[in-house]
Amino acid sequence: MNPPLVLVADDEPDYLEIASRLLEESGLRAARAATGGECL
């Protein structure tokens, strides 16, 4: 079974990367989006 996928959205690239890495280190998968449009 795959770990849950969490969508991380932030227009600040550094914050996006930090949040994604923290989730991945916790064993979750992270999908990254820089804008709300990318989320859709």
Q: Which helix (H) or strand (E) holds 5?
A: strand 5-9
Give me the tens of pLDDT residue by residue for the chain, a chain 40 residues long. Answer: 899 999 999 999 999 999 999 999 999 999 999 999 999 8
Provide the pLDDT for residue 18.
98
Provide the pLDDT for residue 37.
92
Provide the pLDDT for residue 40.
86
Provide the pLDDT for residue 16.
97
How far from 26 is each of 6, 11, 23, 35, 38, CA to CA, in Å?
12, 23, 5, 24, 24
